[in-house]
Amino acid sequence: MELHFLGTGAGMPSKERNVSSVALKFLQTGGEIWLFDCGEATQHQILHTSLKPRKINKIFITHLHGDHLFGLPGLLGSRSFQNGEESPVSIYGPKGIKAFIDTSLNISQTHLTYPIQVIEIDEGLICEEEGRRVYAKKLEHVIPCFGFRVEEQAQPGKLEAGLLKKMGLPPGPLYQQLKEGRDITLEDGTVLKSSEFVSPPVPGRIVAILGDTKYCENAVELGRDAEVLIHEATVLHELAEKAAEFGHSSARSAAVTARRANAAALILNHISSRYHKEEKTLLLKEAREVFPNTQIADDFSVFPIEKLSKK
């Protein structure tokens, strides 16, 4: 999996950061892409990346503020002309998202060449397929806002069939028993331990991608033991109180969330335009004092998840 940040600013586009969007690319399934939030000009940002709009098959919207939403109708419309002719897209978001999409597409007479499915979500398991599950939980923002937790299923361990064959054991039900973790006893009394012939299962990875929020318990829950937690850091701690009034976090409180969640890595996004290039290091420093494995995403930052998190 790879994270491609398309917009890492807060509220309004600036010359340095576009409004919110981040793409999660699954390397193992033909480059399938899930998009999280779709602020205005997300499709423009994509033009400057290697991401293919037709590969986007799920879009998750954390909340309906314009800076997370207003790029959606344009992206859906353009995708019809970008070899996305038939492959369907599922869109998940808070109540109201369906009315927005319907109105935008109808009034503009945008006729998509592919089917879309719009799911107005609540907390809980919102999507399950191909060994992946997505859970949503409510955050604390000024309007209903969700965080998402993507969990890969664990990969079962692999049986060393070659070795068993060399030992003279023909393929059959005994192989299956070993695979399922049961030890077997051969006719001559030899005991074959499952653990000696089956590699340990590979645990699934966890990526938590959060919408706008002030510090809250659900953010910690969403990030629990995650390989990477993506958390907003609108301001520095010195402005934390003011930010909380507007349902936003400081870099430090994002780091506290990551530490309490026992996440392996933290990536900060949704950075206020008041912080320019030099001031970015202040946000980073503040967070790293609490949670050392912290990065700040810029527009077009790419983070391979494997490399982020050595637990």
Taking CB under 8 A as the binding criterion, the range among 104-112, 125-133, 169-177, 298-306 that sits at the site for a copy of itself is: 104-112
Strands (E), the chain: 2-7, 21-25, 33-36, 56-60, 89-93, 116-120, 124-129, 132-138, 146-152, 184-185, 191-192, 206-210, 228-232, 266-269, 294-296, 302-304
Q: Indicate which residue of 67, 183, 188, 225 is catalytic.
A: 67
Give 128's strand partners: 133
**Contact partners, residue 62, CB within 8 Å, separation at least 6:** 20, 36, 37, 68, 93, 139, 145, 146, 147, 148, 209, 210, 211, 212
Residue 44 interface partner, choices Zn ion, a copy of itself, none, CB cut-off 5-8 Å depending on type: a copy of itself
Interaction between residue 120 and a copy of itself (CB under 8 A): no
**37 labelled catalytic:** no
Site string for a copy of itself, 122-161 (x = CB under 8 A): --------------------xx------------------
Interaction between residue 13 and a copy of itself (CB under 8 A): yes
Measure the CA–CA gap between 9 and 223, rounded to whole angstroms.
Answer: 21
- The reply to whether 231 sits in an annotated binding site is no
DSSP letter for 54, please.
G
Judged by beta carbon, residue 80 or residue 90, the one nearer a copy of itself is 80
Residue 109 interface partner, choices a copy of itself, Zn ion, none, CB cut-off 5-8 Å depending on type: a copy of itself
Single residue of 17, 36, 46, 67 touching Zn ion by CB under 5 A: 67
| Binding-site size, a copy of itself (CB under 8 A) | 37
Interaction between residue 103 and a copy of itself (CB under 8 A): yes
Structure tokens at 198: 């089956």
The DSSP annotation for 95-132 comes to: TTHHHHHHHHHHHTT---SS-EEEEE--SEEEEEETTE
In Å, how far from its chain's centre is CA 107? 32
Interaction between residue 301 and a copy of itself (CB under 8 A): no
* Count of beta carbons in the 10 Å neighbourhood of residue 232: 31
- The reply to whether 65 sits in an annotated binding site is yes
Residue 212 interface partner, choices Zn ion, a copy of itself, none, CB cut-off 5-8 Å depending on type: Zn ion
| Residues marked as catalytic | 67
Site residues, a copy of itself (CB under 8 A): 11-15, 18-19, 40-41, 43-44, 47-48, 64-67, 69-71, 73-74, 77-78, 81, 96-97, 99-100, 103-104, 107-110, 142-143
Residue list, annotated binding site for Zn(2+): 63, 65, 67-68, 141, 212, 270
